[in-house]
């Protein structure tokens, strides 16, 4: 049996500050250094935090802008549009009703069960600085509601385990589990190990012991999933609770399972609006006087989300290590019984983000190894590097990769194709290295593929066979031949202004530009219709003295044209020296400083 835990208590008598009118009641955010942290980041819409709990009021005025939306699902048609096994999971999934309705139900609920999921979600990510209500640790984030506990707060470990798998497979970066059980369930353990293998951090509350004035020693009586924090293979950070004075909250459990502490006493946040309560707070959708380690966990999950917004390549281990290493030790203020059993101390979001420069915009580069070497794809951002093996540890075909927003959510994914060989299998990864899609198009390439990102998806070319495929955001692939069915020789391929530019590797110097479905946009002959030879493409990035330009090169030299004028007259000669100085982009990437690795794309462009 799994249960949530929190309760109501009798009320107790250079930073960035949001304009939310009830922020003054959120003492706990100042306690964890949130105002200083917000000078570095207020969060990101690209970070997804799953709240596996009771229902969440997704239409609450202070939550709705930060609720995750499955953009691949069409609402209300009872069809599993994205083929993930869940029909109409537009804003998450309810594992109790087996529907996409994740809202709390007041009928038959306890007050705790009705409020809990929404309150937890608001602590992580109530919309900040919007002049309404409260703020979460993150002003901007995406909350993925996953209902695994009923309206009384009870549930099964199997539903929680299924919820974890759903969250991971649908893009969550962090999972909040404000729940406890006393049995080490194999289903739950396996699901948590799966989450960690995908880089997902799980934040778990250590539980309350209201009947014991000192709390429970978790070295005597284990609580799960929090006590899986002792094994790094599960990716769990276990959170105990403190009060307003940085003392361990009396009800908070302790022991070697605890990693960190966070405020958990007299917290104020958003709650579902009640239609039956006589309480004015319940009727306006905001309330305080809530306590419990259930509420400490989302403050840690929120801090992890802030970190993820500035370190997108960090996975569970890095996030956990940073939060623990920057916590404030408070053991000297505690009873002797707690010494060595309160983890690293109370979290400090400002210290966790202290090394982040406010002037730095996160940029990414993706590179891949050349044929003949073990096939690896590397995503880098600043000092962080993530290495992927798209075709297994022993593959030596090499790869090419580009950034593309394959799910149209505003955040790029990485699309990989083999640089040599016969089989064309493309693989889509998220920025933090989780595989999103894998699909084989053909097994009869002449020798490897080229790829470029365009509006609506990507275009992949059989670099030695004359074919191309436009792959849409939903994975639909369309075959086309830019130079007609008779042309079976090589192609060069490059993106230009959101379209695909082709040049023939043999024959006439015919520039062709198409959209993602192969529809012709431009047909031009920079060297005239009689020119013959081997041709290639390059793109010159815009500079203060020159607009972005396309270069076609061949046996007659190189010609350049402003990309905004493609198809028009005005092609002019450009020398190799000019090209070298302009650092052109080509289909073969650019040097990484390692002869075995080429850089193929950067984001933002």
pLDDT tens track for 170-187: 999 999 999 999 888 999
Tokens for 476, please give them. Answer: 């639909």
CB neighbour burial string for 347-358, b if at least 16 within 10 angstroms, e if fewer: bbbbbbbeebee
Q: Does the pLDDT of residue 547 top 80, yes or no?
A: yes
Would you place residue 280 in the very low, low, confident or very high pLDDT band (cuts 50, 70, 90)? confident
Would you place residue 1 in the very low, low, confident or very high pLDDT band (cuts 50, 70, 90)? very low
CA distance 288 to 294: 14
Tokens for 28, please give them. Answer: 């706990």
Q: What is the mean pLDDT of residues 292-299?
A: 97
In a 10 Å sphere around its CB, with 0-12 CB exposed, 13-18 middle and 19+ buried, how is residue 247 labelled? middle
The active-site residue out of 294, 380, 464, 558 is 294
Would you place residue 13 in the very low, low, confident or very high pLDDT band (cuts 50, 70, 90)? very low
Say if strands 520-524 and 154-155 run parallel, antiparallel, or are unpaired.
unpaired
Q: How many helices (H) and strands (E) does the chain have?
A: 10, 33
Identify the H or E element spanning 308.
helix 293-310
Would you place residue 6 in the very low, low, confident or very high pLDDT band (cuts 50, 70, 90)? very low
Q: What is the mean pLDDT of residues 265-292?
A: 86
CB under 8 Å to 569, separation ≥6 — which residues?
Answer: none
CB of 564 within 8 A of CB of 514? no
Task: Answer yes or no: 53 catalytic.
Answer: yes
Tokens for 160, please give them. Answer: 């929680």
Tens-place pLDDT, residues 188-209: 999 999 999 999 999 999 999 8
DSSP assigned state of 361: P
Least confident of 190-199, 218-227, 577-586: 577-586
Q: Give the strands of the sheet with 413-418, arranged side by side.
A: 399-404, 413-418, 424-429, 435-442
Average pLDDT, the chain: 91
Tens-place pLDDT, residues 132-155: 999 999 999 999 999 999 989 999
Tokens for 299, please give them. Answer: 């403050």
Task: Answer yes or no: 549 catalytic.
Answer: no
CA distance 54 to 205: 15
CB of 3 within 8 A of CB of 154? yes
The active-site residue out of 60, 88, 89, 116 is 116
Task: Answer yes or no: 156 catalytic.
Answer: no
Neighbours of 211 (CB within 10 A): 7
pLDDT reported for residue 543: 79
pLDDT reported for residue 11: 31
The active-site residue out of 20, 44, 53, 309 is 53
More confident residue, 48 or 541: 48
The rounded radius of gyration (Å) of the Cα atoms in the chain is: 27
CA distance 1 to 243: 28
Domains and CATH numbers, the chain: 2-352 (3.40.50.200), 364-603 (2.130.10.10)
Would you place residue 14 in the very low, low, confident or very high pLDDT band (cuts 50, 70, 90)? low
The alpha carbon dihedral of 568, 573, 579, 581 has a sign of negative
Q: Does the pLDDT of residue 409 top 80, yes or no?
A: no
């Amino acid at each position: 049996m799994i249960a949530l835990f929190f309760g109501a208590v009798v009320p107790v008598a250079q930073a960035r500050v949001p304009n939310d009118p009830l922020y003054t009641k959120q003492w706990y955010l100042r306690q964890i250094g949130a105002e200083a942290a917000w000078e570095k980041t207020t969060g990101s819409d690209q970070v997804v935090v799953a709240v596996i709990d009771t229902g969440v009021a997704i239409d609450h005025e202070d939550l709705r802008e930060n609720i995750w939306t499955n953009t691949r699902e069409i609402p209300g048609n009872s069809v599993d549009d994205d083929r993930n096994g869940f029909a109409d999971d537009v804003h998450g999934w309810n594992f109790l009703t087996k529907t996409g309705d994740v809202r709390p139900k007041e009928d038959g609920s306890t007050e705790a069960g009705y409020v809990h999921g929404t309150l937890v979600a608001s602590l992580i990510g109530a919309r900040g600085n919007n002049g309404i209500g409260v703020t979460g640790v993150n002003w901007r984030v995406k909350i993925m509601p996953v209902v695994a506990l009923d309206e009384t707060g009870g549930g099964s470990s199997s539903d929680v385990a299924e919820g974890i798998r759903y969250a991971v497979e649908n893009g969550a970066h962090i999972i909040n589990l404000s729940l406890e059980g006393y049995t080490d369930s194999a289903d739950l353990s396996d699901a948590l190990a799966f989450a960690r293998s995908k880089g997902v951090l799980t934040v778990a509350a250590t539980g309350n012991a209201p009947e014991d004035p000192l709390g429970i020693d978790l070295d005597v009586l284990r609580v799960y999933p929090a006590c899986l924090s002792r094994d790094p293979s599960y990716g769990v950070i276990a959170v105990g609770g403190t009060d307003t004075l940085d003392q361990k909250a009396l009800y908070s459990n302790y022991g070697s399972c605890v990693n960190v502490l966070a405020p958990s006493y007299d917290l104020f946040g958003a709650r579902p609006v009640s239609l039956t309560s006589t309480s004015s707070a319940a009727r306006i959708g905001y309330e305080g006087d809530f306590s419990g380690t259930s509420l400490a966990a989302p403050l840690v999950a929120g801090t992890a989300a802030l970190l993820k917004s500035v370190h997108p390549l960090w996975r569970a281990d890095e996030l956990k290590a940073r939060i623990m290493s920057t916590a404030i030790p408070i053991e000297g203020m505690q009873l002797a019984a707690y010494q060595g059993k309160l983890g690293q101390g109370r979290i400090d979001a400002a210290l966790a983000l202290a090394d982040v420069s406010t002037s730095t915009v996160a940029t990414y580069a993706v590179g891949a190894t050349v044929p003949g070497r073990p096939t690896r794809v590397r995503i880098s951002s600043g000092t962080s590097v993530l290495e992927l093996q798209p075709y297994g540890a022993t593959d030596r075909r090499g790869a090419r990769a580009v950034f593309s927003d394959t799910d149209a959510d505003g955040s790029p994914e990485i699309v990989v194709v083999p640089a040599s060989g016969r089989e064309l299998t493309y693989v889509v990864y998220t920025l933090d290295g989780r595989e999103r899609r894998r699909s084989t198009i053909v097994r009869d390439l002449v020798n490897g593929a080229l790829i470029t990102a365009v509006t609506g998806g990507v275009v992949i070319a059989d670099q030695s066979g004359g074919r191309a495929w436009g792959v849409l955001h939903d994975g639909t692939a369309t075959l086309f031949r830019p130079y007609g069915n008779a042309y079976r020789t090589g192609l060069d391929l490059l993106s230009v202004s959101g379209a695909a530019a082709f040049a023939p590797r043999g024959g006439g110097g015919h520039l062709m530009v198409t959209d993602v479905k192969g529809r012709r946009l431009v047909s031009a002959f920079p060297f005239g219709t009689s020119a013959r030879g081997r041709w290639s493409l390059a793109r010159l990035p815009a500079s203060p003295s020159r607009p972005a330009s396309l270069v076609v090169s061949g046996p007659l030299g190189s010609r350049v044209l402003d990309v905004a004028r493609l198809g028009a007259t005005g092609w002019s000669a450009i020398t190799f020296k000019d090209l070298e100085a302009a650092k052109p982009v080509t289909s073969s990437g650019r040097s990484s400083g390692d002869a075995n690795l080429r850089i193929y794309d950067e984001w933002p462009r």
